[in-house]
Structure 1
Amino acid sequence: MKRTLFCLLFLAFLSLSGKAREEKVIYERYCEAVKEKATFPTGDLMVETARFFLGTPYVAGTLEEEPENLIINLHGLDCMTLVENTVALAWSVRQHPGYEGYASVLKNMRYRDSGNVTLDYTDRLHYTTDWMYENEKRGYLKDVTKEIGGQPLKLDLSFMSTHPDSYKQLKGNPERIAIIAAKEKEINARPHYYIPQDEINVHAGQIKNGDIVCFVTTVKGLDISHVGIICREGDKLTFIHASTTKKRVIVNEEPLQEYVQGIKRNCGIMIVRPQF
């Protein structure tokens, strides 16, 4: 009986593509690394999950494959895929659904209509504030910015629809551009809140380990320029992120407020809290 089960599992392993096997090995290594931590408070589990990826290379554009499909890449991360995978992995180890369950949650978090057999580029949650909104509806996250002292923020998203040549999936595709433009208007009509950069320390006591920090940009037509996972290093409030300057996942050396104040086109932050 045990031998038969082993053979079935081995055959299933061989049926995966080489890349899929590589990602599954990393997934299993993660599960082993945190198996004694699954009962940690959610925020602490988020931090431990993010720390698992310390040193992982920064790689941009890993999702930009055609045709659109669910990309799982745990060996090269940008800021958003680090955050998405941290949430999906932490949820997975808490709920014990296995690799397939983790992949399902990742897909559900990344796409508006994740149940579609065939995914389209316009299904992906490109704008971070839209990603926050949809995943709050699904019960994974909660935007706590307002309740911890955030101020109203007016968004005027338009960057994707007005710069289609910057996106290979939009270039020369007016139907997709129209869908994106309509979604931008819908997002703009929602209420949004942010904590101004000079007030972060005032509200620091209400920002928790494992919260997702989203950096609000002043770039015209955009909402968020960067994301990370809040952690505390002693008395210092900082964050774990996939750094474009260090080219790897790091614990940021500067305190959170100091970091935000040092970015020319940042005006503040939003805070999102996992809910599992």
Structure 2
Amino acid sequence: MKKTALFLLLSACLASCTKSNGNQYEVKMDRFTFEKVNEVIREKVMTSGEVEHGNLVSSVSSAFLNTPYKGNTLVGSADTNEILVADFNGVDCFTLIDYVEALTRAKDYKSFINKLVETRYAQGNVAYFSRKHFFTDWSAVAPYNATDVTRKISSDYVSVQKNLNAKADGGEYIPNLGIIPREINYIPGHAIDAAVLAKLKSGDYIGVHSKLPGLDVSHTGIIIKTAGKVWFRNASSLASNMKVVDSPFVEYMTSKPGFIVLRAD
């Protein structure tokens, strides 16, 4: 069967037949993304053997280097039906890590769709209010994507209590989602030293701590360790980048309030 025919057949089936908790949902994916999913699984996941998960995250995420930055690609709101979007033509900092983690768990195209649902949504329920809207949802909301290892990385970590989604003026970033009390642990940027760098692993997911009320992070990315250097792989919205790049981790992070470290096994 030709690739185009196969893509159309699978797309039609997934769009009309895929269900989450008994509820039907639509999948949005173009041919480029479909082919890229299969390529990454075939060339990076299925050939990886018994490598540590973090090394697989590093390898899979390399397939996104130079992918254009593109925000607001997800479809759904309080007033619009949620659609499961997979779009590799452009990513933001959060969809990048969504796609990478889902791909590392996939064995084929259909399992990628299932893993993307588990990665992006609480209880695997494809709905706007079930999205894991906050980075720390990855370690706090089932199904869990990763473990928060921040406190194991540095004894200089700081703990703060936050009411996620609560704006300083009393409103909500995501109206009608509600307020989520959560303890946030982060390592101040100025506390990075050789010991901290040694404890970080390739494939660790990093959230740049936000000082704003109601937010846990302002940006996300992935630790990459190679040739004795530590990099921060991220979908950068900086005008000089506007694509997925590797930034020197220490240089990037020392000027930031701090960072959270989540590790997937």
TM-score (norm 2): 0.80
Aligned residue in 2 for 1:174: none
Give the drift of 1:71.
1.1
1:224 lines up with 2:238 in the alignment: no
Q: Aligned runs of 1:45-56 on 2, under 5 Å?
A: 45-56=56-67
Matching residue of 1:21: 31
Letter in 2 for 1:70: L
Question: Which one scores higher on RCO, CA 8 angstroms, separation ≥ 6?
Answer: 1
Segments of 5+ residues of structure 1 without an aligned counterpart are 1-5, 171-176
Point out the more displaced range, 145-154 or 211-220.
145-154
Q: Give the CA deviation at 1:146.
A: 1.5
1:194 and 2:210 are equivalent in the alignment = no
The answer for the alignment partner of 2:203 in structure 1 is 210
Deviations 1:170-202 (A, max 9, x none): 4xxxxxx2xx224x23xx2xx432212111224
Give the aligned residue type for 1:104: N
Structure 1 residue 152: deviation in Å?
Answer: 4.1
Aligned position for 1:130: 137
| Separation in structure 1 between the aligned mates of residue 69 and residue 128 of structure 2, nearest angstrom | 23
Whose strand fraction is larger, Structure 1's or Structure 2's? Answer: 2
Runs of at least 5 residues in structure 2 that lack an aligned partner in the other structure: 13-27
> Cα gap change, 1:61/1:155 in structure 2, threshold over 3 Å: closer, same or farther?
farther
CA distance in 1, matches of 2:36, 2:217: 29
- What is the number of equivalent residue pairs in this alignment? 239
Task: Give the % identical residues.
Answer: 25
Question: Which amino acid is the alignment partner of residue 89 of structure 2?
Answer: H
Match of 2:100 in 1: 86
User: What's the TM-score once normalised by structure 1's chain length?
Assistant: 0.77
User: Quick one: distance in 2 between partners of 1:36 and 1:241?
Assistant: 24
Matches within 5 A, 1:251-266: 251-252=246-247, 254=248, 256-262=249-255, 266=256
Higher helix share: 1
1:181 corresponds to which of 173, 178, 181: 178
- Root mean square deviation, CA, Å: 2.4
Instruction: For residues 74-97 of structure 1, give each alpha carbon's deviation from its aligned partner in whole angstroms, at most 9, with x where no partner exists.
Output: 2210011111111111121xxx2x
Deviation of 1:37 after TM superposition, in Å, equals: 2.8
Aligned partners of 1:13 and 1:236: how far apart in 2? 40
Distance 1:158 1:13, change over 3 A: closer
1:107 aligns with 2:102: no
Aligned to 2:264: 274
Distance (whole Å) between structure 1 residues aligned to residue 4 and residue 69 of structure 2 = 32
Post-superposition Cα deviations, 1:153-174, rounded to whole Å, max 9, x if no partner, equal 213235456455x66xx4xxxx
Which residue number corresponds to residue 69 of structure 1?
83
Q: Distance in 2 between matches of 1:39 and 1:59?
A: 33
**1:49-71 CA distances to partner (integer Å, 9 max, x unpaired)?**
11111110000011144311211
Q: Would you say the 8 A contact 2:139–2:145 is kept in 1?
A: no
